[in-house]
């Protein structure tokens, strides 16, 4: 989070706006500092839906972006040199022309730098979108792996499978894992007022014996379906290793044809021929 004096500022590389609304709960907060890019906005999604605020839509605003303000301080706009005590009209005109030339060069330089920043921001946004697409593809793959493991859960576990199950259970967040599983089972039904524990117990009571191992895997792995953070153990990958995808049955290589004659059939055929 970036901050500016007397206001709260948030920057989002995907949406290109920065919140500059003063904190309403703080009576000592200073008024919002305005700029040319300040616009009113309303939140339409999330916890603060319906909230009206003011946003700055300029990623390089010198008022609300500390980096832009620092760049401006390091490279300020040119100013006209003060007139000497005795100055002829020609000297005054020359001083004015020098100032105008400096302004033009400064404006051209600012335009070049702005274009370079725009290209850099565009490159970063493309990288951001590509990374989001990559992560979404990974999430879908992990979800499919999770569903496949549950669908093919064996009736009993091997020692390696039990060990994986216990490792995944030990590393669950005790405060949230029941909620995660219950939410998946209930399907996000807002009218379901049962606690997470009640949802899970009801699900267990309604299971057939052949589905108990699959439910145990659901308890252990639901919270591990999300992409692991850097340095975290990937327990879904461990589960995938010990619960391999079942191989399709191979088709019979024998070609359909006439039945192979047995010894008894051959004897009967000879007697019939002799008769």
Q: Are residues 162 and 193 in the same domain?
A: yes
Q: Are residues 71 and 90 in the same domain?
A: no
Q: Are residues 214 and 137 in the same domain?
A: no
Does 136 map to a domain?
A: yes
Nearest C-alpha neighbor of 7 from the set 92, 59, 64: 64
Q: Are residues 45 and 4 in the same domain?
A: yes
Nearest C-alpha neighbor of 4 from the set 24, 39, 34: 34
Q: Are residues 162 and 91 in the same domain?
A: no
Q: Are residues 163 and 95 in the same domain?
A: no
* 46 Rama class: left (phi>0) / alpha (psi -120 to 50) / beta: left
* Tens digit of each residue's pLDDT, the chain (275 residues): 333 333 333 444 444 567 775 544 445 555 556 777 788 888 876 667 788 878 887 777 777 777 777 777 777 888 888 888 888 888 889 989 998 999 999 899 989 988 998 999 899 999 999 999 999 999 999 999 999 999 999 999 999 999 999 999 999 998 888 998 988 888 767 777 889 899 999 999 999 999 999 999 999 999 999 999 999 999 999 999 999 877 776 665 555 555 555 555 555 555 555 55
pTM over the 0.95 mark: no
Cα separation, 117 vs 171, whole angstroms = 44
Residues in contact with 56: Cβ distance below 8 Å, sequence separation at least 6, in sequence order: 9, 17, 18, 20, 35, 37, 38, 39, 63, 64, 65
Q: Which of 76, 94, 120 is the last residue of a domain?
A: 76
Does 103 map to a domain?
A: yes
Q: Are residues 13 and 61 in the same domain?
A: yes
pLDDT of residue 10: 43
pLDDT of residue 71: 76
Structure tokens at 126: 């493309």
Q: Are residues 230 and 164 in the same domain?
A: yes
Q: What is the DSSP letter of 118?
A: H
Burial class (CB in 10 A: 0-12, 13-18, 19+), 235: buried
Nearest C-alpha neighbor of 37 from the set 68, 5, 6: 68
Q: Which of 142, 160, 185 is the last residue of a domain?
A: 142
Q: Are residues 5 and 46 in the same domain?
A: yes
Does 264 map to a domain?
A: no
Does 274 map to a domain?
A: no
Q: Which of 56, 76, 96 is the last residue of a domain?
A: 76
Does 70 map to a domain?
A: yes
Nearest C-alpha neighbor of 194 from the set 204, 222, 215, 202: 202
Q: Are residues 238 and 156 in the same domain?
A: yes
Domain count, the chain: 3
Range of the domain at 116: 86-142
Three state DSSP letters for 187-238 = CCCCCCCCCHHHHHHHHHHCCCHHHHHHHHHHHHHHHHCCCCCCCCCCHHHH
Does 8 map to a domain?
A: yes
Q: Is the Cβ–Cβ distance between 216 and 165 less than 8 Å?
A: yes
pLDDT of residue 202: 92
Structure tokens at 110: 């600012």
pLDDT of residue 136: 96
Q: Are residues 96 and 54 in the same domain?
A: no
Q: Is the Cβ–Cβ distance between 91 and 98 less than 8 Å?
A: no
Does 57 map to a domain?
A: yes
Q: Are residues 2 and 53 in the same domain?
A: yes
Does 42 map to a domain?
A: yes
């Amino acid at each position: 989070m970036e901050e500016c004096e007397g206001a709260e500022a948030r920057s989002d590389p995907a949406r290109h706006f920065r919140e500059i609304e003063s904190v309403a709960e703080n009576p000592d907060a200073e008024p919002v500092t305005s700029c040319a890019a300040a616009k009113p906005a309303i939140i339409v999604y999330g916890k603060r839906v319906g909230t009206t605020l003011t946003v700055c839509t300029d990623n390089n605003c010198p008022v609300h972006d500390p980096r832009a303000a620092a760049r401006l301080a390091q490279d300020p706009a040119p100013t006209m040199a003060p007139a000497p005590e005795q100055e002829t009209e020609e000297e005054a005109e020359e001083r004015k022309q020098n100032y105008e030339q400096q302004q033009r060069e400064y404006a051209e330089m600012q335009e070049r730098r702005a274009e370079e920043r725009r290209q850099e921001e565009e490159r970063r946004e493309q990288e951001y979108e590509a990374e989001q697409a990559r992560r979404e593809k990974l999430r879908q793959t992990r979800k499919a792996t999770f569903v496949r493991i549950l669908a093919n859960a064996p009736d009993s576990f091997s020692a390696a499978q039990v060990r994986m199950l216990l490792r995944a259970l030990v590393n669950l967040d005790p405060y949230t894992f029941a909620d995660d599983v219950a939410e998946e089972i209930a399907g996000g039904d807002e009218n379901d007022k049962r606690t997470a524990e009640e949802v899970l117990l009801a699900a267990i009571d309604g299971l057939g014996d052949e589905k108990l191992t699959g439910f145990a895997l659901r308890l252990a792995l639901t919270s591990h379906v999300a992409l692991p953070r850097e340095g975290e153990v990937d327990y879904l990958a461990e589960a995938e290793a010990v619960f391999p995808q079942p191989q399709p049955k191979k088709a019979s290589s024998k070609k359909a044809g006439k039945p192979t004659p047995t010894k008894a059939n051959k004897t009967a055929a000879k007697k019939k021929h002799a008769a």
